[in-house]
Structure 1
Amino acid sequence: MLIVELRNQMSQDLRMAMKNRDKVAVALLRTLMATLDNAEAVAVDHATLPKVPTTERHEVPRKELTSDDVQQLLERELAERQRAHGEYVALGLAAEAERLQTEIELISDYL
């Protein structure tokens, strides 16, 4: 799935989750969309900053994510939740484990 298609799908799913008042899905989708945005951000270093102070805006192009990059990001988010789910189950925190299981299923839909 292309990044543009994925973003569009996530936006549609977010609107639907908001309409249905699904707090878990809304929070997860916002987190996933922010993860993609953050991955596209360009690292700030001295090479990208202007040499003299100015009031002009200096925009730099954002990174282009590949399908593999997106796949890795989603897999990392999935693995993080799977690990936490196991910990919550071991601690007997059923409500949190159930929330994470829902998030795991939602992320799996995008993989």
Structure 2
Amino acid sequence: MTTPPDHIRARLRSGLTAAMKARDKEAVAALRTALAAIDDAEAVPVPAPAAGPAATGEYVAGTGVGLGSTEAARRELTLDDLHAVVRGQIDERVAEAATYDGLGRADAADRLRREAALLETYLPG
């Protein structure tokens, strides 16, 4: 049985809600950042301006006109894509922790490692 891609996002959001209720600032920061990274990964490149009349005026120049002219469908990420985004968040925290260790900031390094460990729980075995 495969896990639907939205399942990991739902688990992250559920964890965020619980962390907010528990006032766990580290968990809230880690989960919000991971969810934002997923949202960023779903973004599509900005398309070239559509052919057709462009609105011009004193305040708005070169914008598209018409219903839906600025709408863009978001990318649909696979489960592997989502896991890769969360893994990237974990890897970033581990790398930054090593940097903080080198700077003598053990407190910040430990916080980042705890955040990485929390995010690790959202990935499969």
TM-score greater than 0.5 by the shorter chain: yes
TM-score of Structure 1 vs Structure 2, range by shorter chain: 0.7 to 0.9
Amino acid at match of 1:88: Y
Quote the RMSD (CA, aligned, Å).
1.5
Aligned-residue offset at 1:50:
2.8
Match of 2:67 in 1: 56
- Return 5+ residue gaps in structure 1 as ranges: none
Amino acid at match of 1:64: E
Taking the aligned partners of 2:4 and 2:104, their CA distance within structure 1 comes to 39
Match of 1:38 in 2: 40
Match of 1:82 in 2: 94
- Return 5+ residue gaps in structure 2 as ranges: 55-64
CA contact (8 A) 2:20 2:28 kept: yes
Over the matched positions of the two proteins, sequence identity in percent amounts to 38
Aligned-residue offset at 1:77:
1.3
Amino acid at match of 1:8: A
Aligned-residue offset at 1:106:
1.0
Say which SS state the counterpart of residue 121 (structure 2) adopts: helix
Which structure: larger Rg?
2
Taking the aligned partners of 2:4 and 2:37, their CA distance within structure 1 comes to 16
